[in-house]
Structure 1
């Protein structure tokens, strides 16, 4: 569910949505989402001073709190 949420948000931000790659790493009590986008779209996903990335992480945290799991987002370049 979290993967689809991130994909939906990021698709609306980037110029090349076909180059979005989200790798999910499941842990015992947490999940890590590794996000890769086109190099030219990296700034759009991170935002000024990391504001957009912070907002995406806040939405993820709120979504995951219902299941009692911890979800973190790593934006890879």
Structure 2
């Protein structure tokens, strides 16, 4: 197991912050209720998951036809957020799913 320096951890946090701000900006520009967009991040092994929650009426907009919009957002997150030895993924859910 390798130890991570505070510089490495700070760089990782900055990557999450940059990716998170980018995702929030893009998602909020797409939905009808931008004030209800929420973003959380958590780690699972070597992967950081960004969980975007939107109003249930906006879920279809974010998913897109045949999931194309969601796939494009995931590609964006992967491109700007992943680092060597560290992956970043995006999950999308509607508010009603978040409460259950």
TM-score, normalisation: structure 2: 0.70
Distance in 1 (CA, whole Å) between partners of 2:19 and 2:43 is 12
Is 1:30 equivalent to 2:47 in the alignment? yes
Cα shift at 1:30: 1.5
More helix by share: 2
1:6-64 superposed Cα distances (whole Å, 9 cap, x missing partner): 10110110011000011110345220011110111111100000000000000111112
Q: 2:5: which partner in 1?
A: none
- Once superposed, what is the RMSD of the aligned Cα atoms? 1.2
Q: 1:62: which partner in 2?
A: 79
Structure 2 residue runs of 5 or longer lacking an equivalent are: 1-17, 95-100
Q: Larger relative contact order (C-alpha < 8 A, sep ≥ 6)? A: 1
Number of aligned residue pairs: give it: 76
Larger radius of gyration: 2
Structure 1 residue runs of 5 or longer lacking an equivalent are: none
Q: 2:13: which partner in 1?
A: none
Counterparts of 1:1-77 in structure 2, within 5 Å, are 1-65=18-82, 67-68=83-84, 69-77=86-94
Partner SS state of residue 26, structure 1: strand
Partner SS state of residue 32, structure 1: strand
